[in-house]
Amino acid sequence: MRLFVAIALPADMKKSLMRAISDLRCVATQGNFTKEENLHLTLAFIGEVPTPRVTDAKRALDKVSATPFTLTLEGSIGRFVRSGGDIYYANVEGGDALHSLAGAVKRELTAAGFAIEERAFRPHITLGREVNVPSPVSISIVPASMTVTYFGLYKSERIAGKLTYTEIHRIEL
């Protein structure tokens, strides 16, 4: 089972992001764009996990202690340059609380024996992968904020050929 840990986004924030994705589609020559129902902020990517280990991941995440905080969708997009097409993303800000939460998630999962990526946490919401845009673009996003009161463990799977993310465990802050 393919797993990751993420913060779900409210409908109004998703609508704002979908407008940006629509604008990006208009200028891109190719791209694999995130579907509205799959928009989220990843805290940690776990990867492929045997079914019996899912319970271990849930137990590890239950040990994470954090308090609710504000997450803000900033008004701009960025990109990670990749061969074969770039990853475009929305910038987000959650301050020390967001970085602390991501660090706690990583620590507990690592302590439970999961191999989590070593790279620094860069909070963002992926809008599209393998995106090619012929010239520099400036796409704005309507800023929005939310109070993060929980995060979740999600499984990623293809159902009838459609990439689907399903929350399988919720951790309240």
How far is Cα 131 from Cα 117, in angstroms, rounded to an integer?
Answer: 23
How far is Cα 45 from Cα 115, in angstroms, rounded to an integer?
Answer: 9
Longest Cα–Cα distance of the chain, Å, equals: 48
Give the residue numbers annotated as catalytic, written as ranges: 40, 124
How far is Cα 173 from Cα 168, in angstroms, rounded to an integer?
Answer: 17
Q: In the structure encoding, which two tokens stand for residue 71, read together?
A: 């997450």
Please say whether the beta carbons of 33 and 128 come within 8 A: yes
Size of the chain, expressed as the number of residues it contains? 173
* Helix boundaries (H) for 28-148: 51-62, 95-111
From the list 98, 102, 94, 127, the residue with the least C-alpha distance to 16 is 127
